[in-house]
Structure formats: C-alpha cells, structure tokens
Amino acid sequence: MAYSQVQKIESEVDIKTSADKLYDVFCNRPHYIATISPQKVQSVQIQNGEWGTEGSVITWNYVHEDMAHSQVQKMETEVHIKASADKFYDVFCNKPYHIANISPQNIQSVQIHNGNWGTEGSILTRNYMIANFSWDNTDGKTYVEKEMVEGIDKENKKLSFKVIEGDLMGHYKTFKSNLQVIPKEKGSVVHWTMEFEKHQNNIPDPHTTLQLATEVTKDIDSYLTQDHK
C-alpha cells in the first residue's frame, strides 16, 4: 500500500438477541430495517435479484446526523469472474487506459490529466457510451466523466473514484464508485458499490451506470481469460 493510507473503524455491540436472528434480518430481510429503525433508515429496496443472494442490487435511503439535509444512497452488485484478482485489479488500478481497447462498445477512452497511473489523487477522464441512460433515452450518445482516484488499497485490492465533473454531476450532488476484487479458489468476485446523492428526488437511480460497470467487468474477464499476455 505504498501510495495509500487505509484506515478502519470498528465497533462491537453486545446484544440480547441471538446471532442467527440478527443475521437473518441483515442478510434475508434488510427491508424490515426501515420499519424497525425509521429514524435512521427510510427505505431498503431491491433493484435486481432476490433478497439474501449474491449479486443482488439494493438501494438504501438513510439519514446520518452529520448529513441531516442530505440523502446519500447506495447501490451494490457482485460479478463472479474467472480471471485472477491480481490481473483484474491491475487493469483497473494501473492500466485503466487499456479498458477502451478491451470494451470499446462501452468505453471510448480513458485519459489522465494529473498525476500518474495507479496513484491516489490522479485525475482521469472517461468517455463512455450507455444506451438508454437513466435520464436520457438517446441511443449511441457519448458521456464524459472526470474523476479523482480517491483511494487505493493494493493489499486488499480496493479502489475508489470520486466524480468531480461531467454528465453525472448534472443529476447528482455527489457520486462515488468503489471497487473491490476478492480472490476465490477459482477466479474471483468483483464487488461494485455506487454511492450517490441526488439533486432532486425524481432523479432516477443510476441503474445504467451500475450495469455499465458490470458489462465492462465481464469484458475484462473475457479478455484476461483468453490467450493474452
């Protein structure tokens, strides 16, 4: 982690209920939490998949004391891939410019404007294409996103990107993408998390952005598992 300062906050809470019951709520019935703790969690909705399954996409609406006037929401998904975690992470962390060659139907270009590839604080611009964006039904339109590499944890294969300019900023006050690649006995799991705050409540959730990440992930996996060096 030569270029990162990864920090962690942990806490333990002694509870009276059994571990099985608490785990069941968070794993299989997280939507109940909005009823149990409405002052903290407004809603938990499933967007794709089924409750309690890997790869499902869930949106949380919650209120934090330090964000009393904001509603930061989150969407997550997991993609199981055949490629090794090291190889996949290397593409996103150190060679993101190569993604335009691997998935040209989705990513037109990735350019660096400040800093060096694979370093925190570097500024990247991505030109990408999404058919039927959440707020735009125009097919074949290219969108632009300028982002800062906010965090790199090479040991745990984590990356975080914060969008600072571009089309997304017209609809979201803040937008952050988090990536973690988890090694498995066979292949690995790519975990994507999108954190966002809307300008207005009627702005759609960024399903198409999460779908883009999923498609690019699968294209990179296909490339890495072919006979490429």
Residue spans per domain, the chain = 14-69, 78-224
Q: Dig out the tokens for 197 from the structure.
A: 């705050």
Q: Same CATH fold, 78-224 and 14-69?
A: yes
**What's domain 78-224's superfamily in CATH?**
START domain (3.30.530.20)
DSSP 166-180: EGGGGTEEEEEEEEE
**C-alpha to C-alpha distances, 216 to 12, 39, 73, 107, 108, nearest whole angstrom:** 37, 38, 23, 8, 12
pLDDT digits (tens, 9 = 90+) for 43-64: 888 888 888 998 888 888 887 6
User: What's the mean pLDDT in 107-115?
Assistant: 94
Look at 20-29, 37-46, 144-153 and tell me which has the smallest mean pLDDT: 37-46
Question: Which tops the pLDDT comparison, 149 or 11?
Answer: 149
**How many angstroms separate the CA atoms of 199 and 133, rounded?**
17
> Quick one: pLDDT band at residue 158, thresholds 50, 70, 90?
very high
User: What's the mean pLDDT in 36-49?
Assistant: 84
User: What's the mean pLDDT in 22-49?
Assistant: 87
Q: Which of 46, 47, 74 is nearest to 61 (CA)?
A: 74
Bridge partners, residue 175, by sequence: 196
User: pLDDT value at position 87?
Assistant: 97
- With tokens 């800093």, the residue in question is 115
Q: Tell me which long-range contacts 97-104 makes (C-beta under 8 A, separation of at least 24).
A: 99/216, 99/220, 102/216, 102/219, 102/220, 102/223, 103/215, 103/216, 103/219, 103/220
User: pLDDT value at position 97?
Assistant: 96
> Quick one: pLDDT band at residue 98, thresholds 50, 70, 90?
very high
Contacts of residue 178, defined as CB under 8 A and 6 or more positions apart, other chains included, come to 158, 159, 160, 161, 192, 193, 194, 195
pTM: 0.68
User: What's the mean pLDDT in 121-140?
Assistant: 73
> Quick one: pLDDT band at residue 6, thresholds 50, 70, 90?
low
Residue 162 burial (CB count, 10 A)? 15
β-pair type (107-114, 123-129): antiparallel
Segment of 89-93, 111-115, 132-136, 164-168 carrying the highest mean pLDDT: 89-93
Look at 13-17, 62-66, 73-77, 150-154 and tell me which has the smallest mean pLDDT: 62-66
Q: Which fold has domain 14-69?
A: Alpha-D-Glucose-1,6-Bisphosphate; Chain A, domain 4 (3.30.530)
User: How many Cα atoms within 13 Å fall on the side-chain side of residue 154?
Assistant: 12
User: pLDDT value at position 4?
Assistant: 45
